């Protein structure tokens, strides 16, 4: 390929969350505009590809906006499913959530994450209750280090509960944004 690639920043039209970054040559950009689905140029495979062609998780184009010197584009989309190949809503996913997704997918018998998820929502909810109580006790009578430690346990188990319910933490962020809207 002789032409230059441009960065394509993919953004959810409703939430404004950045979902992923890909690369487009002129042909991918033209196909994106004409088809209504996002196309990229794969640097590793040296070919065009359509987001969703194998996963079914298409990006429906709402708007394509080039930057000031036309070497990058912002593509506003309505996503049909997760953006990331690992099942996360976005490729820019916090480390802990990505780790939970990976351990769930691996389903190793010795994995605490996989075992807890196999035990189901009730077990995950029970752990959230236990950890929440430990945060309260630490906050009222223990050191800051203990509060942080217990808060980390609660945070982790709350994410496990979301995963057990098939929810992505971005849904919580969306709800908080909705509440904060004027």
The answer to whether 6-79 and 95-180 have equal CATH topology is no
Output the 3-class SS for the chain.
CCCCCEEEEEEECCCCCEEEEEEECHHHHHHHHHHCECEEEECCCCEEEECCCCCCCCEEEEEEEECCCCCEEEEEEEECCCCCCCCCCCCCCCHHHHHHHHHHHHCCCCCHHHHHHHHCHHHHHHHHHHHHHHHHHHHHHCCHHHHHHHHHHHHHHHHHHHHHCCCCHHHHHHHHHHHHCC
Can you identify the CATH homologous superfamily of domain 95-180?
Answer: MazG-like (1.10.287.1080)
**pLDDT for the residue 88:** 85
13 contacts: CB under 8 Å, gap ≥ 6: 62, 63, 76, 77, 78
**pLDDT for the residue 122:** 98
Ranges of each domain in the chain: 6-79, 95-180
Residues of the chain with pLDDT under 70: 1-2
Q: What is the pTM of this model?
A: 0.76
Class of 6-79 in CATH: alpha beta
**pLDDT for the residue 3:** 73
- What are the structure tokens assigned to 18, written together? 């950045």
How far is residue 79's CA from residue 52's CA, in Å, rounded to a whole number? 10
Between helix 112-119 and helix 95-106 the angle, nearest 10°, is: 70
């Amino acid at each position: 390929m002789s032409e230059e690639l441009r960065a394509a920043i993919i953004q959810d039209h409703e939430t404004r969350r950045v979902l992923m970054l890909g690369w487009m040559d002129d042909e991918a950009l033209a196909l994106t505009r004409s088809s209504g689905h996002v196309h990229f140029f794969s640097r590793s495979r040296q070919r065009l590809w359509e987001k969703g062609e194998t996963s079914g998780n298409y990006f429906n184009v709402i708007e394509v906006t080039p930057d000031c010197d036309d070497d990058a584009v912002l593509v506003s989309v309505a996503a049909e499913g997760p953006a990331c190949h690992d099942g996360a809503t976005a490729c820019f996913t916090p480390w802990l959530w990505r780790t939970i997704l990976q351990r769930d997918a691996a389903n190793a018998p010795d994995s605490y994450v996989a075992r807890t998820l196999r035990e189901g929502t009730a077990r995950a909810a029970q752990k959230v209750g236990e950890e929440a109580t430990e945060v309260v006790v630490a906050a009222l009578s223990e050191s800051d280090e203990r509060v942080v430690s217990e808060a980390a346990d609660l945070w982790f188990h709350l994410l496990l509960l979301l995963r057990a319910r098939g929810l992505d933490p971005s849904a919580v962020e969306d709800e908080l944004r909705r509440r904060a809207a004027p």
